[in-house]
Amino acid sequence: MISFFNYFYKFSLGLVVILYFSCAQFRGPKYPEIIYNNKQPLISVKYEYGEIQIILPIQYDGDIPENILFKVFAKADTMNPIISFLQEAPSEFRTTLPQGSLDITEKTNLIKIIPQDENFDPVSVRFKGIGFGRIVLPPKVIRSGQLIISGKTFLKNDASILPKVKVEIKDSEDVIFTTSSNDSGFYQIAIPGEYRFSENLKIVVGENLIFKPFTQKLIFDNVRKLKINALLGPSRAMRGPLYITEKSNVHFKKGPDIGAEILFLLNKGEVVSVDRITPGSYHGFIEVEISGGENIMMEGWINRADLRELNLNSIRKVIK
Amino acid sequence: MYSIIKYSIGFFLYVSLACSQIKLDINTIPDEVDVYLDGVNLGTSPIRNERIIPGAHIFEIKKKGYAPLKYDLIVNPSKAVEIDFFLNPVHACKFKTKEKGLVFELNGEHYWDTDNIRLDLEAGDHTLRVFKASELVDEQNIKIDKPETFNYKEKKTISN
């Protein structure tokens, strides 16, 4: 029985081998390589480009310009903005730029904020870009441009330069800025732009001198710069001997007698040109400014005790 | 101090690299194909949410029964890139003739002189030239788009 199965197995195997080779002959040989035709492969590449959203909060300190021109520059090119637009003064500047338009390695990108109002100065914001996404920049404060007050300090008597004269800007009686003229008599003060609307802004020059200080109201009507030359002391019209009041509220009277009509109350530092002397009083002239900045001379009497002789070589107050 | 500087530089490089990477998706027809990027196996297609940096890269795709594909691509700085590869199939074909003494040449580089042969041919156009006694007796294009048997009968005819 076992020999029968062995025989059948060998017979079957031989048959399979014979059939295989017979069929192989029938199917033919196989070429040893795959034959390519080097056809260009079909490939599709799709890019998705991102966007850069820039958000710049804007804060206004005081006055608000009506319109603002925004210009965005990239990659240190400050000649050709990549985008610019004019809009009403916003609380937040937003814009969207295509990917790759900004320098992402250094702070060479720039937003220029140009208020369409001559009272404001343009400001810039430098920033480093990103490939894509959102940039929220620190808030930028827009404030009206500084107000500049400049001029020189002179002695009215001979128009000579007065150096180192104290100059103060006051809002009502609050001193908001103090400086002194230099050796050439020049001074310059910059104050914040919001003082443009103050109704009690004034300049006071010469608080450190014995004369009555020069005072002038500051009015910025469509200008941001004022030039004010301060003339201090007596004018050339005041002829000697010159005296000066030593205290405030000095009576400038019509006559030398007690009970005579009081014409003015003089402040400390008022210069009096004396021409007559009595045992108790001086008769002289003071300068009074009338409208239009013109000075007139007025005569009157002052108690001798309220005056001392003016020495133009010693006009600075002595700090005790 | 040195280690702080070293870690700072490392962190900076890591952040820079992470920021500059681009999302990469790869589709293939057919799918379930091994995809190699610059010699590194990315896995089996479709490939999703891989990362790639801008610059020159080489994609390679191999699958049995399809022509291997190698593609050089300069990847632009962008948010994402999606690449679709369409693999060209290789068809098992038979070529038969009853003519005697002919030598066949395919695409200028493959030769045979038997009257019955099996060929693995990439889909698309192939150029067949037939020689007899070293003389060109026929030249024609054959278009392969499925497994089929060609019977070369007469000198200038070929039929399925």
Average pLDDT over residues A173-195: 91
pLDDT value at A39 more than 70: yes
CATH topology for B22-86 is Immunoglobulin-like (2.60.40)
CATH class of B90-159: mainly beta
pLDDT value at B155 more than 70: no
Residues A135 and A173 in one domain: no
State how far residue A32 is from chain B, nearest Cα, in angstroms.
Answer: 8
- Domain containing A127 equals 51-143
In the prediction, which pLDDT does A150 show? 94
Supply the ipTM of this predicted assembly: 0.80
In the prediction, which pLDDT does B15 show? 43
> Does a structural domain hold residue A205?
yes
Give the C-alpha separation, A302 to A267, whole Å: 13
pLDDT value at B122 more than 80: yes
In the prediction, which pLDDT does B6 show? 53
> Does a structural domain hold residue A31?
no
Q: Which residue of A has its CA nearest to B67?
A: A36
Sequence-ordered list of residues with C-beta below 8 angstroms from that of A231, at least 6 positions apart, any chain:
A154, A155, A156, A159, A214
State how far residue B103 is from chain A, nearest Cα, in angstroms.
Answer: 14
Give the C-alpha separation, B50 to B21, whole Å: 10
Residue A247's CATH number: 2.30.30.40
Residues A274 and A228 in one domain: no
pLDDT value at A165 more than 70: yes
Domains identified in chain A, total number: 3
Domain boundary among A232, A262, A296: A232
Give B-chain residues touching A37 at CB under 8 angstroms.
Answer: 107, 121-122, 124-126, 144
3-class DSSP string for chain B: CHHHHHHHHHHHHHHHHHHHCEEEEEEEECCCCEEEECCEEEEECCEEEEEECCEEEEEEEECCCECCEEEEEEECCCCEEEEEEECCEEEEEEEEECCCCEEEEECCCEEECCCEEEEEEECEEEEEEEEECCEEEEEEEEEECCCCEEEECCCCCEEC
Give A-chain residues touching B86 at CB under 8 angstroms.
Answer: 41-44
CA atoms within 13 A on the CB side of A187: 28
Give B-chain residues touching A47 at CB under 8 angstroms.
Answer: 76, 78, 80-81
In the prediction, which pLDDT does B12 show? 44
Please return the burial class of A263, using the count of CB atoms within 10 Å of its CB with bins 0-12, 13-18 and 19+: middle
Whether residue A44 and residue B84 make contact (CB cut-off 8 A), yes or no, is: yes
In the prediction, which pLDDT does A137 show? 96
Whether residue A31 and residue B120 make contact (CB cut-off 8 A), yes or no, is: yes
Residue bearing the bigger pLDDT, B36 or A210: B36
Q: Which residue of B has its CA nearest to A31?
A: B119
Q: Which residue of B has its CA nearest to A129?
A: B19
- Closest in A41, A48, A132 to B85, CB measured: A41
DSSP states of A10-44 as a string?
HHHHHHHHHHHHHHHHHH--EEEEEE---PPPEEE
Is the N-terminal amide bond of B30 cis, ω within 30° of 0? yes
Average pLDDT over residues A2-26: 67
pLDDT digits (tens, 9 = 90+) for A58-76: 999 878 899 999 999 999 9
> Does a structural domain hold residue A165?
yes
By mean pLDDT, which of A16-25, A140-149, A224-233 is the weakest?
A: A16-25
Residue A65's CATH number: 2.60.40.1120
Residues A188 and A136 in one domain: no
Domain boundary among A172, A198, A232: A232
* Residue whose structure tokens are 């006055």: A63
> Does a structural domain hold residue A319?
no
Average pLDDT over residues A290-315: 84
Domain boundary among A91, A114, A143: A143
CB of B45 within 8 A of CB of B31? yes
Which among A25, A40, A44, A47 is the top mutation candidate for probing chain B, defined by the most B β-carbons within 10 Å of its own β-carbon? A47
Burial A249-258 (b: 16+ CB within 10 A, else e): ebbbbeebee
Residues A294 and A282 in one domain: yes
pTM for this entry? 0.54
Ranges of each domain in chain B? 22-86, 90-159
User: What is the DSSP code (8-state) at residue A267?
Assistant: P
CA-CA-CA-CA dihedral for A86, A87, A88, A93, to nearest 10: -120
pLDDT band with cut points at 50, 70 and 90 for residue B11:
very low
pLDDT digits (tens, 9 = 90+) for A201-237: 999 999 888 888 899 999 988 788 899 999 888 888 8
Residues A219 and A276 in one domain: no
Residues A137 and A151 in one domain: no
Residues A57 and A132 in one domain: yes
